[in-house]
């Protein structure tokens, strides 16, 4: 088989599916090219390409897509609609592939996609089989690659959750960060915040790193009609971790629709914990955020009698 380069933009679901995607494409013999960590330049480029009103995360994402244009045979952008009833994705993930196609249609770049819409009869396995087909691989090798990738994904995820559990047992100040992984782990958006917390002697815990099935069940107690898979995992995580932490930071990107609503509800429903609603809009300079974080930490320390 002819070796193909598949480009993966480092943004949005990359943080969720890094292992799955990389292993899958590697097993099929494709060369993978992931865009570099977000820099100011990449973010800036994304902002100028995207419609003004779109959320910061998607702007950064298209900045990454732009980085890969012309540098690989395919750029991989999946379309994910839902994982079943009441397990929807934000409409942004329904549209991402088509938006990219329209945005970069004059570049001649080819895009690779797969469709996950469980309610519409398109599950993950079917999606990956179609991916293999688009790359010209046999069903057998695709299936093998998918199974291996899935196994690897589960292994890595379990390890991550285990590590989180150990962190939770530590006797230091712990702040739960309720936000999407593509925000928290992004070097331009969320990293400065977790870095600042660590520097201040506080342990940041990500609410989304959690046993996902349990979190989904738990989320129903927190908010019965919440239908967004990613938000359900996060609020389920809040429910599971809230007795082991000292405060919550709700981290969202301006103007993320689901977060705006879910976080508002959580702020109204959770009692007895210091909470900070931090909305990031990709401005330069972290001084403003740092001031807010400092005073938030002061409140927590004061509460615990450490100040």
Partner 1 sequence: MNELKKPKKKVAFPRYANYNAPIRYLLENGLGVRCILPPRLTHRTLEIGAKYSPDFVCTPFKILLGNMIEALEEGADTLVMVYGICKLGYYGELQEQILRDLGYDFDFVNLSEYDTGKVKDLFKATKYVNPQVKFRKVLKTLLEAVKMTDYIDEVTSEYYQNCGFETKKGAYKKAYQTFISNMYSANSKDEIERAYKKVRQAFSQIPISKPSQPLRVGVVGEFYTAMDQFSNFDVELKLAEMGVEIHRWMNVSNMFLHYPGEKNLNVRVKEFTTYQMGPTSTANIRSAKEYAERGFDGVIHVKSANCTPEIDVMPVLQNISADYKMPILYLTYDAQTSDVGLMTRLEAFYDMIYMRKKVVK
Using rule CB under 8 A, residue 134 touches partner 1:
no
Q: Closest CB to partner 1 among 149 and 183?
A: 183
Binder among 87, 227, 244, 292 for partner 1 (CB under 8 A)? 227
Kindly report the CA angle at 40 between 39 and 41, in degrees rounded to 5? 90
Query: Residue 284: how many CA atoms within 13 Å on its side-chain side?
Result: 4
* Virtual torsion, Cα 42, 45, 49, 50, nearest 10 deg: 50
Using rule CB under 8 A, residue 70 touches partner 1:
no
Distant-in-sequence contacts of 153-161, Cβ < 8 A, 24+ apart? 153/17, 153/19, 153/20, 153/23, 156/19, 157/19, 160/209, 161/209, 161/210, 161/211
Binder among 102, 169, 171, 199 for partner 1 (CB under 8 A)? 102
Residues paired with 228 in a beta bridge: 88
Binder among 2, 85, 243, 288 for partner 1 (CB under 8 A)? 85
Q: At what angle do helices 40-49 and 56-68 cross, to 10 degrees?
A: 100
State the binding string over 10-39 for partner 1 (x if CB under 8 A, else -).
------------------------------
Q: Which of these segments, 50-58, 65-73, 176-184, 241-249, binds partner 1 (CB under 8 A)?
A: 50-58
State the first-to-last Cα distance of the chain, in angstroms, to the nearest integer.
Answer: 64
Q: Closest CB to partner 1 among 136 and 255?
A: 255
Using rule CB under 8 A, residue 264 touches partner 1:
yes
- What values do phi and psi take at 30, rounded to 5? -85, 155
- What values do phi and psi take at 173, rounded to 5? -70, 130
Q: Closest CB to partner 1 among 92 and 180?
A: 92
Binder among 2, 121, 225, 285 for partner 1 (CB under 8 A)? 225
Binder among 53, 169, 171, 271 for partner 1 (CB under 8 A)? 53
Using rule CB under 8 A, residue 212 touches partner 1:
no
Number of residues this chain uses to bind partner 1 (CB under 8 A): 40
Q: Closest CB to partner 1 among 171 and 271?
A: 271
Q: Closest CB to partner 1 among 97 and 300?
A: 97
Beta strands in the chain (DSSP E): 5-8, 31-34, 74-76, 79-82, 110-112, 115-117, 174-178, 203-206, 247-253, 275-280
The minimum distance between CB 288 and partner 1, in angstroms, equals 17
Q: What is the edge-to-edge ordering of all strands in the sheet holding 174-178?
A: 203-206, 174-178, 247-253, 275-280
Using rule CB under 8 A, residue 115 touches partner 1:
yes
Using rule CB under 8 A, residue 95 touches partner 1:
yes
Enumerate binding residues for partner 1 (CB under 8 A). 51, 53-55, 79, 81, 85, 88, 90-92, 94-95, 97-99, 101-103, 105, 113, 115, 223-228, 254-255, 257-258, 260-265, 268-269
């Amino acid at each position: 088989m002819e070796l193909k380069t598949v480009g993966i933009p480092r943004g949005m679901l990359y943080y969720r599916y890094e292992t799955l995607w990389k292993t899958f494409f590697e097993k099929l013999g494709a060369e993978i090219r992931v865009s570099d960590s977000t820099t100011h330049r990449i973010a800036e480029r994304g902002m100028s390409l995207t419609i003004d009103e779109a959320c910061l995360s998607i702007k950064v994402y298209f900045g990454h897509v732009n980085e890969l244009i012309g540098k690989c045979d395919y750029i991989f952008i999946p379309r994910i609609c839902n994982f079943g009833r009441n397990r929807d994705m934000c409409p942004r993930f329904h549209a991402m592939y088509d938006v990219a196609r329209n945005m970069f249609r004059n570049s001649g770049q080819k895009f690779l996609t797969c469709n996950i819409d469980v309610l519409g009869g398109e599950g993950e396995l079917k999606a990956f089989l179609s991916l293999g087909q688009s790359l010209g691989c046999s069903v057998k090798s695709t299936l093998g690659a998918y199974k291996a990738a899935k196994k690897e994904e589960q292994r890595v995820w379990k390890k991550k959750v285990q590590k989180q559990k150990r962190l939770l047992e530590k006797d230091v100040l712990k702040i739960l960060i309720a936000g999407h992984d593509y925000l928290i782990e992004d070097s331009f958006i969320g990293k400065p915040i977790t870095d600042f917390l660590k520097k201040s002697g506080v342990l940041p815990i990500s609410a989304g790193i959690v046993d996902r099935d349990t979190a989904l069940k738990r989320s129903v107690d927190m908010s019965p009609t919440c239908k967004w898979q990613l938000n359900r995992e996060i609020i389920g995580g809040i429910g599971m971790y809230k007795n082991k932490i000292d405060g919550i930071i709700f981290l969202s990107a301006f103007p993320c629709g689901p977060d705006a609503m879910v976080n508002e509800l959580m702020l109204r429903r959770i009692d007895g914990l210091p909470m900070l609603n931090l909305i990031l809009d990709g401005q330069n300079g972290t001084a403003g955020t740092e001031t807010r974080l400092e005073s938030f930490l002061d409140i927590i320390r004061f509460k615990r009698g450490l100040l």
